[in-house]
Chains A and B, each alone.
Chain A
Amino acid sequence: MTTAAPSLLVDDLAFAYPDGHQALFGVDLRIAPGERVALLGPNGAGKTTLVLHLNGILRGGRGRVAVAGLPVAEANLQEIRRRVGIVFQDPDDQLFMPTVGEDVAFGPRNMGLDEATVTRRVTQALEQVGMADAADRPPHHLSFGQRRRVAVATVLSMQPEILVLDEPSSNLDPAGRRELAEVLQALPVTLLMVTHDLPYALQLCPRSVVLDRGVIVADAPTRELLADADRLAAHRLELPFGFSVR
């Protein structure tokens, strides 16, 4: 990318759910191309709400969001959804097609790409997550960790400007967690990763932002943030037992 525009720009974003519950109170966030950022925060802080604004699933509050310079608006939704690849928390929600290959092809086909390109993208995306030989298998026959990796492939095949992951390490066994980390580390993409797994944030993302009660309360190098026990405690964040960062 040679564009000067940031991969993601969130400017003074506020949002209340239809039932009146205010989830975001003016969020500002700027992510440059190639950056890897962890989005931390306690349960109910508004992380998922923020994520759903990035590709225009939720809209209509105050403020604005732009992806590589393109504002999120009704007229641009299709292009925005190509540029922002969201991997949801439960792979069973993400993988709805009868086979892995068809699921990975779903996004590219919606973009109207020709079949040769779709096939190429599918193979490439599955290779990137180490699942190349699963193309013909039904998703519900895969292990949880494999399904999580295929879920990542389903958005990689759209070649997004920014990859957004909502709690990618949850429910994974230690080996699955490490395998996913290796996959993510090898991807040449801009990354925003929502997580409660602070060591994972440290391993994968040089920069972290903390969202608490609908506002960004910290934005710092991950190592620096995790070393500041008082600041972590103030926002209900904790390193696992026996862990310390200095």
Chain B
Amino acid sequence: MGAGHSAGGISAAYVAGDSPVHRLEPHTKLVAVVAFALVVVTTPVQAASAPVAYAGFLALVLGVAAVAGVRAARLARSLLVELPFVFFALLLPVVSGGPRVQVLGLSLSEHGLWTGGGLLAKATLSVLAATVLAATTEPRALLRGLQRLHLPQVLVQILMFMVRYADVVLGELRRMRVARESRGFRPRHVGALRVLGPAAGSLFIRSYERGERVHLAMLSRGFTGRLPTGPPPVVGARSWATALTLPLAAAVVLGTSSLLL
């Protein structure tokens, strides 16, 4: 049956705590992170002030992470999702045109270096901010936040079922693997695909059937297509102000750095 007490899956991103960042209403945090990312993305890469601005942004995110009690190791691990960008960013100085500079015997495009570096900095800062959000907000609170921000119902429902059933489906996947391996199966070579293909198919069918049963259970309790929600919590100007400190501070960093340099 259910995966019970697994700590893995979707809820693994959350780090329990009681910091001021944890206590903020989820939708205010969502807005803050998106606004922060916007400021970061709109910072012009080629401007002389860009490196200073990026350093300022980095200090801001790390500051929030410190307040929230999110460890450095946790932040570093989250940067793994960035790897494809890193690859692309490293490629840019090599393949771009324009004036070139010599670095360690390599001829690199100056324009490419700036663009690649800018891309990397923007991606890293956004990922860090999103990580702090995920580490301080439970997945279901995040969903409530998205719902309050009027994300389309269908999307919220899909995400909600994903959060709820990720553990259940992972549990099913694990049991199927245990059953295979208990009978001596080792996925060693391409031939294993003959076994793993149908296994994936049967997982799909099981999930599909589960979906049908869940739908029956929902209909049985009067579901008409809209998820009913409780009353929205009252959010004072204070918590908005706290949450929006991050993007506002980022905007100030951007403004002062471009004025001074």
Interface residues of A (CB under 8 A from B): 52, 55, 57, 78, 81-82, 84, 86, 88, 90-94, 96-99, 102, 105-107, 109-111, 115, 118, 138-141, 143-144, 147, 154-155, 158, 171
Contacts and interface: CB of A to CB of B under 8 A. Distances in A.
B1 interface: yes
B213 A57 contact: no
Contacts of B218: 96, 106
A90 B4 CA distance: 13
A105 B230 contact: yes
A81 B216 contact: no
Interface centre among B143, B161, B221 (most CB of A within 10 A): B221
Nearest to B216: A57
Interface in B203-226: 210, 213-214, 216-224
A55 B220 contact: yes
A205 to B, nearest CB: 22
Decide if the interface of chain B is mainly helix, strand, loop or mixed.
helix
B217 A88 contact: yes
A159 B220 CA distance: 14
B233 interface: no
Contacts of B160: 97-98
Interface string B140-159: 10011000000000000000
A54 to B, nearest CB: 9
Interface of B: 1-5, 11, 139-140, 143-144, 160-161, 163-165, 167-168, 210, 213-214, 216-224, 228-231
A36 B222 CA distance: 24
B159 to A, nearest CB: 10
Contacts of A92: 1-2, 165, 168, 210
Given A88-B220, A93-B216, A144-B4, 16 more contacts: A57-B216, A81-B222, A82-B222, A91-B2, A92-B2, A98-B143, A98-B163, A98-B164, A99-B140, A102-B230, A106-B228, A109-B228, A115-B230, A118-B230, A139-B164, A140-B167
